[in-house]
Amino acid sequence: SLSENKESFGENVYRIIRILNGVPESIGSWNSINAEKSESRMVLEYNFEYLNGVSFTKGCYVGQELTARTHHTGIVRKRLLPVILSNSALDAKLRTERALNRISGSDFSEELIPDGILWTGDVKECEVFQKSLEEFCGKRNSIEFVQESVSNLALGLVRMDSAFESSSEFISKPIQINDSVFACAYKPKYLQSNQY
């Protein structure tokens, strides 16, 4: 159980909760991690409009016109989403459903990170998950790149049209990373009532 393994996550608890909620750490880390891949990224792909990180009524910033135009057309094809990795499609889906139910619920008096989401098995297997995901990422795949990861969780830039059956779905279909690694992404609560 996670309660017994809390020490192994230690300082990463804040990071895990942030990733489960689909929140990037900062624009600074956003630009420095995968710098070559994030040069052409838009703040809308990182959900900053829902996190009160961008204004459409005031201010002046680089890319403001393109950001406003994209916002008003309503089409953002990729989003930074929590991704949960596992060694089977079914397990990835079950862990994702647990995470979504926990994050979307109002029962925050319980454990911050409930059992059944994080990988509590062999740490080397998590390293395999993360390495496999990084190798899988690319422009033609459902997950374009990973911003950060811890345990079997990642924040990845997900192509919405190829990962989700429809815009009303909250959990992606299982994405086969390779023969032994599968992933599911989900929309955090702040994205659930919005079209992509």
pLDDT digits (tens, 9 = 90+) for 5-26: 445 556 678 888 888 889 887 6
78-125 pLDDT, tens digit each:
999 999 999 999 999 999 998 888 766 544 434 556 667 888 777 788
Q: Nearest to residue 64, comparing CAs of 54, 77, 50? A: 54
d(CA 66, CA 165): 28
* CB of 119 closer than 8 Å to CB of 113: no
Q: Is the pLDDT of residue 72 over 90?
A: no
C-alpha closest to that of 68 among 39, 42, 37, 50: 42
Per-residue pLDDT reduced to its tens digit, 178-192: 998 999 999 998 888
Q: Alpha-carbon distance 100 to 105, whole Å?
A: 8
**According to the model, what pLDDT value does residue 185 have?**
94
Record the pTM. 0.82
Cα–Cα nearest to 121, from 151, 99, 153: 151
Using one digit for the tens of pLDDT, what is the confidence trace for 138-174? Answer: 877 888 888 888 888 999 999 988 899 888 889 999 9
Reported as half-sphere exposure (CB side, CA atoms, 13 A), residue 29 has a value of 11
| Distance separating alpha carbons of residues 98 and 195, to the nearest angstrom | 23
**Segments in the chain forming alpha helices (H):** 2-9, 13-20, 27-32, 35-38, 64-73, 89-104, 123-136, 160-163, 189-192
Query: What average pLDDT does the structure give for the chain?
Result: 79
Query: How much is the pLDDT for 166?
Result: 84
